[in-house]
Amino acid sequence: MTKPLEGVRILDLTHMLSGPYAGMILADLGADSVKVEPLKGEGTRSLLAKDPNNSYGGQGAYFLTLNRNKKSVCIDLKSEAGLQVFYDLVKDADIVLDNFSAGVPAKLKIDFDHLSKINPRIITCSVTGFGQAGPNFQRPAFDQVVQGIGGGMSITGHDQDHPARAGIPIGDLGGGMFAVMGVLSALHAREKRGYGQHVDISMLDCQISMLNYMATMYFLSGDDPKPIGNSHFVHVPYDAFPTSDGFVIIAVIFDSFWDNLVALLDIAELRDEKYKTQPGRFADKDKINGILKELLVTNTTAHWVDLLSSARIPCAPVNKFSEALSDPQVLFRNMVVDIPQSDGGAVKAPGNPIKLSVDSEEAFTTPPGLGQHTREVLRALGYSESQVEELMAQGVIG
């Protein structure tokens, strides 16, 4: 069995989260991913590496997760000799992926303008906070910065006085996901045109895109939406309700779900005719939610999920990680996988969410040691052993 991106070579210059996440997904799909690191290693190699609870074999959770299925080559890109080695790699590559600050690739002479002269088919992709141009494109950006600027934080949480970022770093991960889409689009375009292009991913752009219909609502109404916790600005009931041992989500989107809920719970106050349609329910949102809260807290989450599910009412528990990562559906979909380690052990991590009917084989390799594949990759390019030894002695590669 082959993987869909087998034969596609990526030079992965990324660090931290947004770029490595994109590289991880592409590598999971079969791309030959060569992680090009500075001689001291990429920054996340040391992150949590000495934390006894969040590391394995001297590698922290970040690096263990994001760098499976990759090879590691160490090159000093700031030296002329190192740059020439990198250019040799580019001749045989399809994609160069980075998440340096805007302007850094051009300064290092590894941007699209430079690399396309070496390999006209090369596709470069940069994930930055704000893109490659604009009035504020060079300001530093991390996950919470773009979450804040992008507007999403203003509607996250329970009130306007306590804005909250998403618990999952969607600023970083959103950039990584859109980078994958951009790279695959550029690969498809290259098949038709015969030449590559640059993919410019701004984390802020991604956040604005994900505002989606709520942004359109703002443009239509002129009203800034406000945070409403886990409830909804249209549907009722739609919230996370306390139970005797946790929380249960009820999401009544259609009137038919409401009919099922009323029949199941058999509460007289909920049989009011005006509640049969959304406007009537929304007008009495607090009253309906109050009635449900009084009832649902009297039994367990599992009890209510089983009961509501039997009536085809959309519902769910609010799972802790321990519950989500042991959910039978999650396990059936192979979304918890073992990443083998060099000592024969394994570390569990989230699997690949992209499931294909033909290219369905899933396999994962050990995150690489620093410079583990430098010799192998350069020898495959035609470098002699003596050339490799000389470059190592000069501190050009490692």
Cα–Cα distance measured from residue 32 to residue 27, given in angstroms and rounded to the nearest whole number: 6
> Which is the catalytic residue, given 12, 76, 98, 172?
172
Share in percent of the chain as helix, strand, coil (round to 5): 45, 15, 40
| Torsion sign, CA atoms 57, 62, 65, 71 | negative
306 is catalytic: no
Pairwise CA distance, residues 389 & 398, whole Å: 10
DSSP structural state of residue 79: S
Is 64 within 8 Å of 32 (Cβ atoms)?
Answer: no
118 sits in which H/E element? helix 112-118
Q: Would you call 309 helix, strand, or coil by DSSP?
A: helix
Give the chain's radius of gyration (CA, Å): 25
Residue with tokens 């990198």: 86
Q: Nearest Cα to 348, choosing from 42, 2, 8, 68?
A: 68
Q: List the structure tokens of 266.
A: 């058999």
CA distance 285 to 91: 62
Cβ-in-10-Å burial (0-12, 13-18, 19+) of 387 comes to middle
Query: Which residues does the annotation mark as catalytic?
Result: 172
